[in-house]
A and B are shown apart, each in its own frame.
Chain A
Amino acid sequence: MIDARPWTAAALIGALWGALELSVGTALHLSRLPVRGMVMAALGLVCLVTLRRLRGRPGACLLAGAIAAFLKVFTLGGLYPGPLIGILLEALVVEVVFDIFGSRRVSAVVGGAVVLGLTPVQMTLTVWVVAGRDTVEATARAALEVLAWLGFPVFPPVAVLGGVVAVAAGIGALAGWWAWSVSSGVNERLGQ
């Protein structure tokens, strides 16, 4: 028997994620908040963890990510590669982590840590590719000067990025924990 529910659930949850990217994502993008990528990554994580927990068919997360990325293209500036790469990468990471650790809370925590930990790296690489190395270096220099002006100790840019990644991964682990709790609630509401 081939059960269509994993595919339809992937389609619908991918559509929900895409709709969130279209609405909340666009609003956050316009707001220029510094952590907008991480907020959207956390929302995507909740969608993916719920999908993988309820309909554990391998590949469902990848399909949901493809659909969310497909819908994201319809936003103005949607062809900008950063968010598209972010969405597809997030789906891939959650898929792989759940394949390795199984459908357990630890997978959500590890997946969340990796996804949000990758966000600053991916943002840096995207800016590097789109705006060029000079822009990245200039931004890093400006950030370090601001930190020095505020009285913080100055570290090399790579160390600063490492610190940001570590903090983001910690937040991601918490987001993963929360995503698993939300998926448990969904499970109960569906009576499964």
Chain B
Amino acid sequence: MRLGFASAALFLACISVFLPWWWAPFAGCALAIAATAWVDRSVLRSALRLGFVLAAVFAAAVGGSAVAWSSGLVKGFEAGGLLLARLLVLWLVAGVVSRSVDADVVLGVFRKLGFERLGLVFGLALNALPRLVVAGRQVWIAHRVRSVSRIEAWKRLPALAEVLLAHTVRIGDDAAAAAALRGHSSLVRPPKAILVCPAPVIVLTGRPGSGKTTALERIIDSLVGHGNNVAGLIQPGEFRDGAKVGFSIRDLRTGEEAPLARRTSRESGQHGTGFLFDEAGLDLARQALASVPEGAVLVVDELGPVELRGKGHMPALRRTLALQPPRVLILVVRRHLVPALLAALSATDARVVDVESEGDEAVTKVVALVGEVEA
């Protein structure tokens, strides 16, 4: 009802522009304002805020002055008044729409039409608008604070765009993770999990270079110190002049090490990555996973995009999970791959521990979680 009135009001204000009488747009806007305020008085109250009134009057004055300069004073007053009326209609209609249209309404409409996934995506876009506005405001404030001069502010515009887009993508990833956890069949459709684990899974995550492997080494030391049987593989990075140039692989049971990958350009890398893989390292990984005793704490550092496409260590890991089920599986995954992993995973329980947000607590937390399984 309210939405219908708001839509009709907006339509009225729009078509009145095309009518031949000078007063028609004013009448259209006045009718639209009256109709919208009648269905929702609280919207009218929100339009009387000082900030909105000042912005609308300023915009009308600027627009009206421009028209007055080019076409005369009368036309200028007409254009300014009309602009003010249009802004008021826009504000009122937007208020009613934002109160009436939400993700559920959109989803319902699309579901009726048989496009459920499209409805979910459109609903998500509507729901995310307030978060995007908040993110945009924060990014803008940070931009203004960091820019000491107007020239500096212009120079930093690309960085502003980068931060805003990165925020947006992160919100999208959060939404994907939520959809995966809720098993939303339309947005995320895992026909069958590619990683079935008959034990609880602990996902250790963080961005590249955030110290995941270092934290994992401390966790392994602590678990071994507590008498746990730890097996699997760890992939320490290899650095040259402070830059990561590759990975080696270490079998946690035997301590044997082999080179696994070395960095190259993305064009010449294998499996769509920027790395060339060494067969000796892959063999050692297969051997390490094949020799995991049943009931051990299985550690896999790390699962990347290659594994999530079902390649790399994944076939050997799947075989191990099926033939020698561990007591707990600890997986190391980069933060941006967590949604994809959760969508691909079927386990009795899954906990995510972020080494960046948890800091030193991450080690204690993972050890405690493993201890809980034992109990």
Q: Do A and B come from one complex?
A: yes
- The docked-state distance in angstroms from the alpha carbon of A47 to that of B158 is 12
Which B57-76 residues sit within 8 Å CB-CB of chain A?
Answer: 59, 62-63, 66
- The docked-state distance in angstroms from the alpha carbon of A3 to that of B187 is 9
- The docked-state distance in angstroms from the alpha carbon of A55 to that of B340 is 12
Could you tell me the dominant secondary structure of chain B's interface residues? helix
A131: shortest Cβ distance to chain B, in Å?
A: 11
Decide yes or no whether B163 CB sits under 8 A from chain A: yes
Number of contact residues on A: which range applies? Answer: 35 or more
From B41-49, B141-149, B168-176, B241-249, the one touching the partner chain is: B168-176
- The docked-state distance in angstroms from the alpha carbon of A32 to that of B10 is 22
In the complex, what residues of B have CB within 8 A of residue A190's CB? 166, 169-170, 336
**Residues A182 and B334 in contact, CB atoms below 8 Å apart:** no
The contact of B169 among A9, A46, A74, by CB within 8 Å, is A9
Decide yes or no whether A159 CB sits under 8 A from chain B: no
The contact of A8 among B172, B308, B336, B344, by CB within 8 Å, is B172
**Residues B176 and A5 in contact, CB atoms below 8 Å apart:** yes
A151: shortest Cβ distance to chain B, in Å?
A: 23
- The docked-state distance in angstroms from the alpha carbon of A32 to that of B64 is 12
13 contacts between A and B (CB under 8 A): A1-B310, A2-B190, A3-B176, A3-B339, A4-B339, A9-B168, A12-B169, A13-B169, A15-B125, A15-B129, A16-B165, A183-B165, A186-B169
B140: shortest Cβ distance to chain A, in Å?
A: 11
In the complex, what residues of A have CB within 8 A of residue B89's CB? 76
**Residues B188 and A14 in contact, CB atoms below 8 Å apart:** no
**Residues A75 and B125 in contact, CB atoms below 8 Å apart:** no
Q: A4-B188, A11-B122, A76-B13 are in contact. Are A19 and B336 (CB under 8 A)?
A: no
Decide yes or no whether B35 CB sits under 8 A from chain A: no
Using CB atoms, name the residue of chain B closest to A75. B90
- The docked-state distance in angstroms from the alpha carbon of A183 to that of B94 is 32
**Residues A70 and B14 in contact, CB atoms below 8 Å apart:** no
Decide yes or no whether A165 CB sits under 8 A from chain B: no
- The docked-state distance in angstroms from the alpha carbon of A46 to that of B162 is 10
Using CB atoms, name the residue of chain A closest to B126. A15
Number of contact residues on B: which range applies? Answer: 35 or more
**Residues B59 and A191 in contact, CB atoms below 8 Å apart:** no
Decide yes or no whether A113 CB sits under 8 A from chain B: no
Chain A residues proximal to chain B, CB less than 8 Å = 1-5, 7-16, 18-19, 30-32, 46-47, 50, 54-55, 63, 67, 70-71, 74-77, 79-80, 178, 181-183, 185-186, 189-192
Decide yes or no whether B53 CB sits under 8 A from chain A: no
B210: shortest Cβ distance to chain A, in Å?
A: 8
- The docked-state distance in angstroms from the alpha carbon of A187 to that of B122 is 25
Using CB atoms, name the residue of chain A closest to B32. A76
Decide yes or no whether B128 CB sits under 8 A from chain A: yes
Q: A4-B180, A67-B121 are in contact. Are A19 and B172 (CB under 8 A)?
A: no
Chain B residues proximal to chain A, CB less than 8 Å = 10-11, 13-14, 17, 59, 62-63, 66, 83, 86-87, 89-90, 93-94, 97, 117-118, 121-122, 124-126, 128-129, 132-133, 136, 158-159, 161-166, 168-173, 175-176, 179-180, 184, 187-191, 194, 207-209, 308, 310, 334-336, 339-340, 343-344
In the complex, what residues of A have CB within 8 A of residue B173's CB? 5, 8-9
- The docked-state distance in angstroms from the alpha carbon of A14 to that of B128 is 10
In the complex, what residues of B have CB within 8 A of residue A4's CB? 175-176, 179-180, 184, 187-188, 339, 343
**Residues B121 and A63 in contact, CB atoms below 8 Å apart:** yes
- The docked-state distance in angstroms from the alpha carbon of A105 to that of B17 is 43
- The docked-state distance in angstroms from the alpha carbon of A63 to that of B93 is 25
In the complex, what residues of A have CB within 8 A of residue B175's CB? 4, 8, 11-12
**Residues A16 and B122 in contact, CB atoms below 8 Å apart:** no
The contact of B190 among A1, A8, A16, A32, by CB within 8 Å, is A1
A59: shortest Cβ distance to chain B, in Å?
A: 11
B122: shortest Cβ distance to chain A, in Å?
A: 6
User: Which of A10, A30, A178 has most chain B Cβ within 10 Å?
Assistant: A30
Using CB atoms, name the residue of chain A closest to B209. A191
The contact of B66 among A10, A14, A32, by CB within 8 Å, is A32
A128: shortest Cβ distance to chain B, in Å?
A: 17
**Residues A13 and B165 in contact, CB atoms below 8 Å apart:** yes
The contact of A30 among B59, B129, B132, B136, by CB within 8 Å, is B59
**Residues A191 and B164 in contact, CB atoms below 8 Å apart:** no
- The docked-state distance in angstroms from the alpha carbon of A185 to that of B166 is 9
Further 6 A-B residue pairs, CB within 8 A, beyond A5-B339, A76-B90:
A12-B128, A12-B168, A182-B158, A182-B161, A186-B162, A190-B170
Using CB atoms, name the residue of chain A closest to B189. A2
In the complex, what residues of A have CB within 8 A of residue B163's CB? 189
